A and B are shown apart, each in its own frame.
Chain A
Amino acid sequence: MVIQVKNLTKYYQVHQKEPGFSGSLKSLFRRKYYDAKAVDDISFEIEEGELIGFIGPNGAGKTTTLKCLTGLLYPTSGKVSVLGYTPFERKHAYLKQISLVMGQKNQLWWDLPAIDSFLLNKEIYEIPDEHYNKTIAELSSLLEVEDILQVQVRKLSLGQRMKCELIAALIHNPRILFLDEPTIGLDVMMQQNLREFVKNYNKQYNATIILTSHYMKDVEELCKRIIIIDHGKILYDGKLESIVKKYAKTKTITAIFEKPVLLEKVKQLGELVSFDPKKAVFSVTRDQSNRVASKLLEHFPVEDINIEEPNIEEIIREVFSNKASSV
């Protein structure tokens, strides 16, 4: 296990001010604080080479967990061990093996070309010349940014900047990569490029990758295992396909017919979501999907048929609506 988290709890002390001038006056003499539970007694383990998705709404505790794992935050209680180190001690030997990329933060020098930020990281991480040159060549080719490394960062597009951020974070070949909303703000093409890159990086270097994202597409394409967190508590920790089986009670069958069919005949097969004489969309229970599909093929002039799992976002919504009681 490269990451072991046991009963991790992180509370923030938050100042609460009553509204208005009198509230401001009162808070000068007597401040009220309350404990905001960002992470509440969570435990999990991660093996080397895993690519895990952390899912949850805003304020669920995803980023706080990531920050505790990297060593940015001191846990209120519980035990965290990453690569055998206690993250909060931030030993240099530990920091040389991890990297955190935050989609909304720029760590590159704004007014200098990205290559200068890479050179700075090379010195800070004490990377030998040969290794540095090889890594830069590899990563810039993989991300297709060879031509922009010497352009001022401020003149790069968001997508180009994000790619350079990734290179800066990977120069030292971290064993563990924490990605916090890496595709936020990027266009669809760039999101896809980044996903491909993350997938390849995970395979090529056997790096452990922990990803948080609001885009379910990121999680769906990259992660076999997901951890769903809400109000600081883990609602689900397991395989993505298992949660689909558990929460996706229905499947969608779309049939396209060669010639028009009668509504009366079609609606006997299952719940119709939409219908026109040459196309029918059904919502059927998982155990009925094969039966409905074979009946369609048997009794109707089917040109094309498609059986789909429900959208992963719907499943996650289902998990949140059933939380505590069913998971």
Chain B
Amino acid sequence: MRYTKIFSLYFQSVFAHRGRPLVFVLMYVINALIYLTFIRGVFQQTHTIQTWTLSSVTSYYFLLIVAGGTLMMHPEVPIFRDDFEKGELAGRLLKPFSYYWQRFNIELPVRVFQGISGAIIAYILAIIFHADFQFHLSLATVCLALIIIFLAYFICFTFKMILALTALWTTEIHGAQELTDILVTIFAGYIVPVNLLPGVLEKLANILPFSYIIYYPIIAIEGKLAVPSLFSVITIQVMWLVVLGVLFRFLWKKGLMQYADFGH
């Protein structure tokens, strides 16, 4: 009940700033359309590439809009700007509510808002482009796919929180942030689905956490993974979440011991 109330209060804040998240969704739309245009060109030469047809790949890119809006978050940007540069961290640290969950509650309404907006836009685009969303799902695969989406959210959030914490040691985090964005673009499945990446890159994508945030949740919800594969994805996600969770706690503890809050 308490968390629901906090969520609804933060949701009001998102409504007050609705322009920005909407623009972010439009950016996902534009990216998806650019990649789609490129891959549609490839499909003029062939009907299938590995397991992908033109219809399924079109659906993939539209689902990417929803997944990008919901699962690929950027809490590190407001954390660095507001909490570190403007010094708002002090106020948050003195609340009897963990910093991780405060930020989680701030981020979640934005994701829900972007996810819903993204889904509406994706649906309209699907009608325009005659994309045929095909979800081959059973009750078991739906449940497992939802677990994958849930874990993907936490992996991304914890990873970005770690990225934000680097501000406790460095003057600014934009370099690390840009690098992460490049890695995400390549390995999360933004440019092409991960199994279409060249050999080494595909292997790397399956090791790094990024594909477990975007690519696998999409193909899981489309029903493209069999139950054993879904379990494999969940296992790797849990491993990543544990690693990131431990790393976050370690860095948070270390970082706060040297936190200075200079000039605020």
Contact = CB atoms under 8 A, between A and B. Distances in A.
A112 B6 contact: no
A116 interface: yes
Given A90-B94, A105-B88, A123-B5, 20 more contacts: A13-B258, A67-B90, A72-B93, A72-B94, A72-B259, A73-B259, A74-B259, A93-B96, A99-B94, A102-B90, A102-B91, A102-B264, A105-B91, A111-B13, A111-B17, A112-B13, A116-B9, A120-B6, A120-B10, A123-B9
A73 B256 CA distance: 8
B261 A67 contact: yes
Interface of B: 2, 5-6, 9-10, 12-13, 16-17, 87-88, 90-91, 93-97, 256-262, 264
Interface string A109-153: 101100010011001111000000000000000000000000000
Contacts of A98: 94
Interface size class of A (residues with CB under 8 A): 20 to 34
Interface in A66-107: 67, 70-74, 90, 92-93, 95-96, 98-100, 102, 104-105, 107
Given A12-B260, A72-B259, A74-B257, A124 B91 contact: no
A124 B96 contact: yes
Nearest to A124: B97
B95 A124 contact: yes
Contacts of A112: 12-13, 16
B6 A73 contact: no
Nearest to A93: B96
B2 to A, nearest CB: 5
Interface of A: 12-13, 67, 70-74, 90, 92-93, 95-96, 98-100, 102, 104-105, 107, 109, 111-112, 116, 119-120, 123-126
B2 A123 contact: yes
Contacts of B258: 13, 74
Contacts of B264: 102, 104-105
A71 B94 CA distance: 8
B94 to A, nearest CB: 6
Nearest to A104: B264
B264 to A, nearest CB: 7
Contact of A124 (B6, B17, B87, B256): B6
Contact of B9 (A13, A105, A119): A119
Nearest to B86: A105
A325 B13 CA distance: 56
